[in-house]
Structure 1
Amino acid sequence: MNKFGKGIITGVVATIATTAAGVFAVKKTIIDPELKKEEFVNENRRKAARKRISH
Structure 2
Amino acid sequence: MKKFSKGIITGVIGTLVATAAGVFAVKKTIIDPELRKEAFINENRRKAARKRVSH
Same fold by TM (over 0.5)? yes
* Seq. identity, %: 80
4+ residue runs over 4 A deviation: none
Unaligned runs of 5+ in 2: none
Partner of 1:38: 38
- Structure 1 length as normaliser, TM-score? 0.97
Hey, what's the Cα distance between the residues in 2 that align with 1:2 and 1:52?
73
- Structure 1: where are the runs of 5+ without partners? none
TM-score (norm 2): 0.97
- The alignment covers a number of residue pairs equal to 55
Question: Which whole-Å deviations, capped at 9, do the CAs of 1:2-46 have from their partners, x for residues lacking one?
Answer: 000000000000000000000000000000000000000000000
